[in-house]
Amino acid sequence: MGKKTITESATTLSEVMMPVDANHYGSVHGGTILRLVDEAAFVTATKHARKNVVVASMDHIDFRHPVNMGDVLTLSASIFHTGRTSMDIEVKIQAEKIKEGKKVDIGFAYLTMVALDKKGRPAKIPGLILKTKEERNKNRQIRLKRERRLADGLLE
């Protein structure tokens, strides 16, 4: 099983936020955004592993700005660390106020996805090729974050 670059599995999803996504104030439900974060991470992990994948954990997420009905929500997901069966994925969340032509950084989410074999057991995945200094730095940051979660008993 070879290794893959970060760009081979990177994914960008965009969706216009509609009335069904929003509360009576016109702000998009946090749960809607979390669902889209999960979808972006799922696509990225599946592209990397080429297997079924499930969420093992999601770190907390801070919503820095509201997302409103009519905004285009864009989620950019990339794997920055792999284990034997798991992938640590960063999802950047951005909203575009399309009438204003203004983009707003909403926040980040970090998820750990695990690949599964046909019997539903954790399955080995390809490693990760880190090409740039930025990729190596992000890998180190996410690895340290993962080690803290392991030490705190938040991951097995």
| Its pTM surpasses 0.85 | yes
Q: Give me the tens of pLDDT residue by residue for the chain, a chain 156 residues long.
A: 789 999 999 999 999 999 999 999 999 999 999 999 999 999 999 999 999 999 999 987 889 999 999 999 999 999 999 999 999 999 999 999 999 999 999 999 999 999 999 999 999 999 999 999 999 999 999 888 888 877 876 655
3-class SS of residue 73: strand
Residue 69 is assigned to a structural domain of this protein: yes
Please give the residue range of the domain that contains residue 96.
3-151
Q: What is the CATH number of the domain that holds 57?
A: 3.10.129.10
Residue 156 is assigned to a structural domain of this protein: no
Q: What are residue 49's phi and psi, to 5 degrees?
A: -85, -30
Residue 16 is assigned to a structural domain of this protein: yes
Count structural domains, the chain.
1
Residue 138 is assigned to a structural domain of this protein: yes
Residue 25 is assigned to a structural domain of this protein: yes
Q: What are residue 121's phi and psi, to 5 degrees?
A: -100, 155
Measured distance CA(94)–CA(137) in Å, rounded = 22
